[in-house]
């Protein structure tokens, strides 16, 4: 007597549960379509515009991110270093070089080893173009480590993985199709806790 309704309930639970699970996995897998890779850095030029694809719009809605006009901002994300190895909290990294022209840029970490767990300790969790020390030629070096470093330093936790987010604000690069010609800073691993 309850066999048919029970089987229908199981089928619906599997269908809805599987649909929600597969949707969440698809949203975690990509920020959207049309990615541009410049070394370890990846950008989605249309992700923050009105012309964004449905995946990019879903990411933006779940993160509560601002909607930039095409020439206002462009966000680059790095999950690997310049050698292709995943960024880990138990390693030390150096970001070297310069960024594309922008009125202002910001750099922060995101992920398990990211700044959210070190915020209450008065450690540097974000940097911007107006607060860093530069060399005479305009380039810079930024150390990313769980241990304090001199000059430009971003603090991370010594566990888990993290990503770097570099946002260029008021940049001509965001509105141009010449993103491939941009020069981005390199990310070099300088040591790890296990080696």
The string of pLDDT tens digits covering residues 136-149 is 998 999 999 888 88
Residue 49 is predicted with a pLDDT of: 66
**What is the tens place of the pLDDT at every residue in 84-100?**
899 988 889 999 998 88
Q: How many residues does the chain have?
A: 195
Average pLDDT in the chain:
79
Residue 141 is predicted with a pLDDT of: 93
Q: How many CB atoms lie within 10 A of CB 48?
A: 27
Angle between the N-to-C axes of helices 3-29 and 54-63, in degrees from 0 to 180, rounded to the nearest 10: 90
Judge whether residue 113 has pLDDT over 70.
no
Residue 175 is predicted with a pLDDT of: 55
Q: Which residue has the higher pLDDT, 32 or 169?
A: 169
Are the beta carbons of 124 and 153 closer than 8 angstroms? yes
Of 128-132, 156-160, 169-173, the range with the highest mean pLDDT is: 128-132
Residue 95 is predicted with a pLDDT of: 93
Q: Which residue is associated with the tokens 């940049």? A: 171
**C-alpha radius of gyration, the chain, whole number:** 20
Q: Which residue has the higher pLDDT, 9 or 171?
A: 9
Angstrom distances, CA of residue 30 to CA of 48, 59, 92, 97, 189:
14, 9, 26, 27, 25
pTM: 0.74
CA distance 105 to 142: 14
pLDDT band at 60 (very low <50, low <70, confident <90, very high): low
Judge whether residue 111 has pLDDT over 90.
no
């Amino acid at each position: 007597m309850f066999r048919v309704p029970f089987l229908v309930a199981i089928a619906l639970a599997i269908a809805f549960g599987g649909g929600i699970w597969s949707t969440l996995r698809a949203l975690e897998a990509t920020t959207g379509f049309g990615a541009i890779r410049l070394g370890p850095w990846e950008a989605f030029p249309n992700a923050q515009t009105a012309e964004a694809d449905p995946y990019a719009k879903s990411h933006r809605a779940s993160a509560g991110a601002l909607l930039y006009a095409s020439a206002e901002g462009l966000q680059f994300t790095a999950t690997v270093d310049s050698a292709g190895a995943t960024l880990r909290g138990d390693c030390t990294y150096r970001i070297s070089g310069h960024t594309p022209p922008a009125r202002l840029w910001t750099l922060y970490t995101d992920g398990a080893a990211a700044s959210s767990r070190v915020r209450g300790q008065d450690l540097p969790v974000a940097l911007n173009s107006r607060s860093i020390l530069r060399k005479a030629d305009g380039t810079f070096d930024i150390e990313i480590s769980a241990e304090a470093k001199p000059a430009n330093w971003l603090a991370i936790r010594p566990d888990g993985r993290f990503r770097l987010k570099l946002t260029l604000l008021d940049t001509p690069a965001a509105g141009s199709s010449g993103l491939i010609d941009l020069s981005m800073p390199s990310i070099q691993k300088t040591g790890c806790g296990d080696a």
